[in-house]
Amino acid sequence: MAKLYLQRHLKSQWNTENRFTGWVDVPVSKEGADSAKDAASLLKEEKFDIVFTSPLARNMQTTIKILRNLGKSPIFAHLDDGKMQKWGNFDGGVGECVLTYVSEKLNERYYGELQGLNKDEAKEQFGEEKVLLWRRSYDVAPPGGESLKDVCKRVDPFYKKYIEKDLKDGKNALVVASHNSLRAIVKYVEKVSDEKIIDVELPFGSLIKYDFEKGKYTKLQ
């Protein structure tokens, strides 16, 4: 039996400013950094063999801060289109080293024209119902951006090829990523319908755990 851990990144600077971030490379905020110890405590009793994340600063910083609080250190390796380039130890190294694969496939949803806008101002401009539909629905995209369906099209093949393969090989995997890339994974592993995915949300720094055995996922409390 293997275990899968899905970790949402710590709160970023634009999250604190209530702005749509998407692919804009915004760092973790002070509030987010201060919460790293609490986030790491959720993994304190867990064992993971490999980590996957995206190159967005908030995801990589979250990975570093959580691992550091666990007495570990990531060795980053970029992984996309079958190519891998080792980056070496990103933060100088403390304790046990953990191989951490980095891929753009795990990036947040691209929010198009909404990126950088304050979410409350966007609701006033476009209407609250439409903004909610853009943010949480499966197949409706914001202007010039990606829908969750689009995110699934890039996340799912990567997940099956790399992460699920490691699970099948008996490795425990930690995925540190953004809200919608994680929602795409949750949709896949829990077989959430297109209609029900609108109800799935993951708070900042939250962790979801699954057992994986014989191709089946069981969500843990």
Dihedral sign for Cα atoms in the order 104, 116, 186, 184: negative
What pLDDT, on the 0 to 100 scale, is given for residue 11?
95
Helix (H) or strand (E) holding 135, with range, is helix 128-136
**What span, in angstroms and rounded, lies between the C-alpha atoms of 74 and 51?**
8
Strands 2-8 and 207-213: antiparallel
Q: Check 31, 108, 121, 164 and give the catalytic one.
A: 108
Annotated catalytic, 78? Answer: no
Whose tokens are 């039996």? That residue is 1
pLDDT computed for residue 96 by the predictor:
85
Q: Please provide the distance, in angstroms rounded to a whole number, between the alpha carbons at the two ends of the chain.
A: 17
What angle in degrees, to the nearest 10, is found between the helix axes of 179-190 and 148-158? 70
**pLDDT number for residue 86:** 53
Q: In whole angstroms, how far apart are CA 179 and each of 21, 92, 135?
A: 11, 28, 10
Ranges in the chain, pLDDT < 50: none
pLDDT for 79 equals 82
How far, rounded to the nearest angstrom, does the alpha carbon of residue 60 sit from its chain's CA centroid? Answer: 10
pLDDT digit string, tens, across residues 104-143: 999 999 999 999 999 999 999 999 999 988 988 899 999 9
State yes or no: is 9 an active-site residue.
yes
Q: Classify burial at 8, counting beta carbons within 10 Å of its beta carbon; exposed 0-12, middle 13-18, buried 19 or more.
A: buried
pLDDT score of 89 = 52
Instruction: Give the pLDDT score at 136.
Output: 84
Question: Active-site residue among 9, 146, 164, 179?
Answer: 9
CATH (one of 2.40.37.10, 3.40.50.1240, 3.20.20.150, 1.10.730.10) for 2-220 = 3.40.50.1240
pLDDT at 83: 61
pLDDT tens digits along 44-62 = 999 999 999 999 999 999 9
Among residues 61, 76, 50, which one has the least CA distance to residue 15? Answer: 61
What pLDDT sits at residue 61? 96
**What is the C-alpha separation between 50 and 168, in angstroms, rounded?**
13
Please, are residues 177 and 9 in contact by the beta-carbon 8 Å criterion?
Answer: yes
pTM of the model: 0.93
Q: What 3-state class would DSSP assign to 43?
A: coil
